[in-house]
Amino acid sequence: MVSGRFGWSAPRSDVPRDGGGRKLLHQGLGRIKAYPHFVREMLHLYHTFRAASRSPGAERINDVYVGKWRFGDFENPARIIRGLTERGGEAPFRRPRQRPDIYFPFLTAKPFWDRDDIAAVLERSVDVIRAEFRAVDALADAHREGLTDAGFWTTYEFFRGKRRRESNCARCPETTRVIAQSPNCGEWAGAAFFSILEPGTHIKPHCGTTNGRLRYHLTIEAADGASIRVDDRVGSWTLDQCLILDDSFVHEVTHQGTERRVVLVVDMWHPELTDLERRVLAASFLLPPDEEH
């Protein structure tokens, strides 16, 4: 069996090893039902993006890496089929502790970002957002990704990727409105949720799934003793202010205080992605696995 970065596997005998690109693609497609759903989506990328990535202004999409594969190489059908069976290898990460599944090597990378106009908009609405949070506080769910090894972490989700929690949004109309008016990447690889961290909680080191976004934490309730390490830097939360980070770096959270920490998390497009690139990505199947922080 050959295991890929995204968790699928396929028998090596099911993949042709010789012949031209057209022959490989034809034979591969003929056997595609033997592969899990993710592989079919990977091949669909070839058709979905071929025209879009050639559009003026969208050429950089060809340099995006999906796992170890450069998207521009999907133009070569032989590389698609052969790449699915290759062992080892990875994207050309420029920072040793930044290792997302979907990697944009041309985007500026730094663990924390300065507060900006987007943060100012969120901060102006912090009072009404806090009031709506407190009205739904009891409805938060235990975080389900298995990232904690101590304490308790709950979330109240508005959306994740293209999946929107309509009932949750309806209970918090002003919060939903503020999020909707921001340059969030919810139509692609973004999430928005309240994150409640109880004292004594530790979130294990992990990486987000793409550096095509920045993660905004609007502080609803601050707590002394709570901190987040991103790469080799440590940050903390200030009441009523945003903390902005790139969660594609290895990061972990430690809460050694006595009060809970509550933030509104909203994923925004990386500011260096153009409007056209954002539209191409939002319309694509180029979606990372479910993940949140």
CATH of the domain at 211: 2.60.120.330
What are the backbone dihedrals phi and psi of residue 160, each rounded to the nearest 5 degrees, phi first? -145, 115
Same domain for 138 and 268?
Answer: yes
Q: Residues of 130-156 as b/e, b for ≥16 C-beta within 10 angstroms?
A: bebbeeeeeebeebeeebbeeeebbbb
Same domain for 17 and 65?
Answer: yes
Same domain for 175 and 121?
Answer: yes
What are the backbone dihedrals phi and psi of residue 103, each rounded to the nearest 5 degrees, phi first? -120, 125
Same domain for 271 and 202?
Answer: yes
User: Does 243 map to a domain?
Assistant: yes
Q: What pLDDT sits at residue 111?
A: 98
Q: What pLDDT sits at residue 73?
A: 75
User: Does 53 map to a domain?
Assistant: yes
Same domain for 62 and 140?
Answer: no
How many domains does the chain divide into? 2
Return per-residue pLDDT of the chain as tens, 293 residues: 333 333 333 333 333 333 344 444 444 445 444 555 555 555 655 566 566 666 677 788 888 888 888 877 766 656 656 655 665 567 889 899 999 999 999 999 999 999 999 999 999 999 999 999 999 999 999 876 788 899 999 999 999 988 899 999 999 999 999 999 999 998 888 999 999 999 999 999 999 999 999 999 999 999 999 999 999 999 999 999 999 999 999 999 999 999 999 999 999 999 999 999 998 888 776 665 554 43
Q: What is the value of pTM for the model shown?
A: 0.81
Same domain for 139 and 266?
Answer: yes
Range of the domain at 19: 2-92
Q: What pLDDT sits at residue 187?
A: 86
User: Does 135 map to a domain?
Assistant: yes
User: Does 106 map to a domain?
Assistant: no
User: Does 103 map to a domain?
Assistant: no
